[in-house]
């Protein structure tokens, strides 16, 4: 029987994980020479391809020198930390990929910390050594310093380093002499990553991720950690709370190449497999022996740090775009998501058509919204809010460690922006005209910061952050957003009206777009809201005079991405998201209602 190596690939966003896996698959001749193969094979959902990020962890396997290597691709964003922590439980070692130019980044630290705590052996891959001005040796030293600061053991600190360029298709022991292929990396994996050992005893397999098939339903994926799993045999399902449910492992599939292959043979311990036919299982449950069930320790998942209100769409334009618009459909979809998205929680509210959704950050929640809008859902979103905890009788809020890399000339502006949001400077380093700034900032202060940061630094800032922990409440943030320009009537935006109102602020809608009463159509130049009529047309007379029909020149409308809109809105506004449109609106559409509420608040 072939030896098995389970290896997880970890890295900061955009350091080349998925490209590296592509090259390994090509190296072991997984495809025929004449087979047409697309790039980024593992990013198989549309959102991952568009954004160039990995959201869900994936399993593939390759065979090399009579050894089966199971490769687990993990997300790099800390918002998907729930995904990473589960998956590392299946690995014997990790491949840490670091950009030769940027070195280890905050997200690298986040994932590496989890791997070191689990006692996994790392192999460091310094990637992109063909970049201009890169410093592979310094990047490697920084990784050593990082591991040392994370309390790595002597054995973990004695890690092998591989240099190369996944894009150019080579890996070798030295970055100055390119090799032909990826053989050196594969040999290093065989040499340094321990093989899985067969553990005798009764069956134990922890479910670490879920797959879904429209034919067979939910599929449990995990590593057999003890004994063997016999396809078709009855098993016990040990739940996280200790209750035991009898079930049957009807079919077992092993990961071969990019797909799954059904097996009739018993699955040995150390192998990763997918099990069909179980019922009522969740991530973290243990598949155990039918007669002597013993559960494994449940997986600990970091708590959500942000909440957001999801409301069924009730705007004047509801039902024009989407297939699913009722609150019942929204509720079913959100609860279905919590089954496989462990870091997500849903709570019902006093209102039947609104739900409070808890997640790990803006990106985590926006990916869910983007997925739902593509499936045909219409939803409205409230302002994101951080989760406040009471610890020992003290009101506490999440604090993030924020790092910003920026040209030195802009560092003053960055410090000014962050400190205005109750951020504290932790460290400043300047190398080659680039400043590396580190801050501790309340998670509230990050909402809306990215846009301002990019504007202030002319798009040069690179921001990354990770949760540091909960600290006592820092007080009110002195952030003011300009007021909104609100549509007075429902109709079509007219170029003539927008042109006449341009001195009032910046518009979010183009001429010809449909707008409704209470929709936010722009941002005021002042701090208060202003209601205006942009559906008013020019009154035509039968008199013609030269110069009376002057040309209109309208500034292009500002178009937000979903994350930008989530960071932009205030607490009296919703974002209406449908498959084809995204609009910002006031919760109360009628101007008189808004004035009445404002008056009652001031009284």
- DSSP of 77-137, one letter per residue? SGGGHHHHHHHHTT-SEEEEEEETTT-S-HHHHHHHHHHHHTTPEEEEEEE-TTSTT--HH
Interatomic CA distance for residues 430 and 262, integer angstroms: 55
449 or 492: which carries more pLDDT confidence?
492
pLDDT > 90: what percent of the chain?
Answer: 1
14 labeled part of a ligand binding site: yes
CB atoms within 10 A of CB 555: 10
CATH of domain 3-192: 3.40.50.300
What was the pLDDT predicted at 397?
87
Give the pLDDT confidence of 186-240 residue by residue, as tens digits.
Answer: 888 888 887 777 777 788 888 877 776 667 777 788 888 888 888 888 888 888 7
What was the pLDDT predicted at 342?
66
Long-range pairs, 535-538, Cβ under 8 A, ≥24:
535/487, 535/489, 535/490, 535/491, 535/492, 535/493, 535/494, 535/497, 536/494, 536/496, 536/497, 537/494, 537/496, 537/497, 538/494, 538/496
What was the pLDDT predicted at 55?
39
What was the pLDDT predicted at 54?
40
131 labeled part of a ligand binding site: no
Most confidently modeled range among 69-78, 299-308, 580-589: 580-589
What was the pLDDT predicted at 291?
80
Residue 409 has pLDDT above 80, yes or no: yes
18 labeled part of a ligand binding site: yes
Beta-bridge partners for 394: 391
Residue 70 has pLDDT above 60, yes or no: yes
Give the pLDDT confidence of 251-299 residue by residue, as tens digits.
Answer: 888 887 777 778 888 888 888 888 887 777 777 788 888 787 777 777 6
Residue 42 has pLDDT above 70, yes or no: no
Helix crossing, 449-456 with 411-420: angle to 10°? Answer: 160
Mean pLDDT of 124-133: 79
Using the structure block, give the residue that is written with the tokens 């590496």.
Answer: 112
Give the pLDDT confidence of 432-444 residue by residue, as tens digits.
Answer: 777 888 888 888 8
What was the pLDDT predicted at 205?
83
Mean pLDDT of 542-563: 70
User: Cα–Cα distances in Å, from 539 out to 316, 467, 494, 587?
Assistant: 27, 57, 12, 33
pLDDT > 70: what percent of the chain?
Answer: 85
Most confidently modeled range among 32-36, 155-159, 396-400, 460-464: 396-400
pLDDT bracket for residue 49 (50, 70, 90): very low
In terms of DSSP bridges, do strands 161-165 and 121-127 run parallel, antiparallel, or are they unpaired?
A: parallel
- Domain 204-288, architecture per CATH: Beta Barrel (2.40)
Phi, psi of 426 (to 5 degrees): -105, -35
- Domain positions in the chain are 3-192, 204-288, 389-472, 484-539+552-602
What was the pLDDT predicted at 81?
53
129 labeled part of a ligand binding site: yes
Q: Check: CATH 3.50.30.30 for 389-472?
A: no
| CATH fold for domain 484-539+552-602 | OB fold (Dihydrolipoamide Acetyltransferase, E2P) (2.40.50)
Residue 356 has pLDDT above 70, yes or no: yes
44 labeled part of a ligand binding site: no
Interatomic CA distance for residues 125 and 114, integer angstroms: 18
Instruction: Calculate Rg over the CA atoms of the chain.
Output: 27
Residue 187: which residues within 8 A CB-CB, separation 6 or more? none
309 or 152: which carries more pLDDT confidence?
309
Residue 472: which residues within 8 A CB-CB, separation 6 or more? 394, 395, 396, 397
Nearest 5°: the CA angle 389, 391, 392 is 150
Interatomic CA distance for residues 130 and 163, integer angstroms: 10
Question: The tokens of 507 are what?
Answer: 């518009």
17 labeled part of a ligand binding site: yes
571 labeled part of a ligand binding site: no
* Element holding 473 (H helix, E strand): none
Instruction: Report yes or no: 184 and 162 within 8 Å, Cβ to Cβ.
Output: yes
Question: The tokens of 503 are what?
Answer: 């001195």
Give the pLDDT confidence of 477-535 residue by residue, as tens digits.
Answer: 767 778 888 988 888 888 888 888 888 888 898 888 899 998 999 988 888 888 888 88
Answering whether pTM is above 0.85, one says: no
239 labeled part of a ligand binding site: no
User: Cα–Cα distances in Å, from 107 out to 183, 463, 543?
Assistant: 28, 11, 67
Mean pLDDT of 346-368: 85
Instruction: Report yes or no: 578 and 321 within 8 Å, Cβ to Cβ.
Output: yes
Question: The tokens of 94 are what?
Answer: 């990790």
What was the pLDDT predicted at 549?
53
């Amino acid at each position: 029987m072939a030896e098995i190596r389970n290896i997880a690939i970890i890295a900061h966003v955009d350091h080349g994980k998925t490209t590296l896996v592509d090259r390994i698959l090509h190296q072991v001749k997984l495809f025929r020479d004449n087979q047409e193969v697309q790039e980024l094979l593992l990013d198989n959902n549309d959102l991952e391809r568009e954004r160039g990020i990995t959201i869900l962890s994936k399993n593939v396997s390759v065979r090399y020198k009579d050894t089966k290597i199971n490769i687990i691709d993990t997300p790099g964003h800390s918002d998907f930390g729930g995904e990473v922590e589960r998956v590392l439980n299946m690995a014997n070692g990790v491949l840490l990929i670091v950009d030769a130019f940027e070195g280890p980044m905050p997200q690298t630290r986040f994932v590496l910390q989890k791997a070191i705590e689990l006692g996994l052996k790392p192999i460091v891959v310094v990637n992109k050594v063909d970049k201009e001005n890169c410093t592979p040796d310094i990047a490697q030293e920084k990784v050593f310093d990082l591991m040392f600061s994370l309390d790595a053991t002597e054995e973990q600190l004695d890690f092998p380093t591989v240099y190369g360029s996944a894009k150019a298709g080579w890996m070798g022991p030295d970055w100055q002499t390119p090799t032909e292929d990826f053989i050196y990396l594969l040999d290093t994996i065989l040499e340094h990553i321990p093989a899985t050992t067969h553990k005798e005893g009764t069956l134990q397999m922890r479910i670490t991720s879920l797959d879904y098939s429209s034919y067979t339903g939910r599929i449990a994926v995990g590593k057999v950690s003890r004994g063997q799993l016999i396809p078709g045999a009855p098993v016990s399902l040990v739940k996280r709370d200790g209750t035991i449910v009898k079930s049957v492992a009807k079919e077992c599939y092993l990961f071969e190449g990019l797909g799954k292959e059904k097996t009739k043979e018993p699955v040995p311990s150390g192998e990763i497999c997918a099990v069909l036919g179980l019922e009522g299982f969740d991530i973290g449950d243990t598949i155990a022996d039918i007669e002597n069930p013993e559960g494994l320790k449940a997986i600990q998942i970091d708590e959500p740090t942000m909440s957001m209100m999801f409301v069924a769409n009730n705007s004047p334009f509801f039902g024009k775009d989407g297939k699913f618009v009722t609150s019942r459909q929204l509720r079913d979809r959100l609860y279905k998501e919590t089954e496989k998205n462990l870091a997500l929680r849903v709570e019902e509210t006093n209102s039947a058509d609104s739900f409070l959704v808890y997640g790990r950050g803006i990106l985590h929640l926006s990916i869910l919204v983007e997925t739902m809008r593509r499936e045909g859902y219409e939803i409205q979103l409230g302002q994101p809010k951080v989760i406040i905890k009471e610890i020992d009788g003290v009101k506490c809020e999440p604090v993030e460690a924020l790092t910003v890399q920026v040209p030195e000339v802009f560092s003053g502006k960055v410090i000014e922006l962050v400190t205005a949001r109750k951020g504290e400077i932790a460290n400043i380093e300047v190398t080659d005209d680039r400043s590396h700034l580190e801050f501790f900032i309340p998670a509230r202060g990050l909402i809306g910061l990215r846009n301002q940061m990019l504007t202030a630094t002319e798009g040069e800032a690179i921001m990354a952050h990770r949760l540091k922990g909960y600290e006592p409440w820092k007080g009110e943030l002195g952030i003011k957003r300009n007021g909104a320009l609100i549509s007075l009537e429902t109709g079509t935006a007219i170029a003539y009206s927008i042109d006449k109102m341009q001195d009032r602020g910046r518009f979010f809608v183009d001429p010809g777009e449909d707008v409704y009463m209470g929709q936010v159509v722009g941002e005021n130049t002042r701090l208060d809201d202003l209601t205006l009529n942009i559906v008013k047309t020019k009154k035509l007379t039968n008199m013609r005079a030269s110069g009376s029909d002057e040309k209109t020149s309208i500034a292009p409308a500002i178009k937000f991405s979903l994350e930008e809109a989530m960071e932009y809105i205030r607490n009296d506004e919703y974002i209406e998201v449908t498959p084809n449109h995204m609009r910002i609106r006031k919760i109360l559409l009628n101007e008189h209602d808004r004035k009445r509420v404002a008056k009652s608040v001031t009284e």
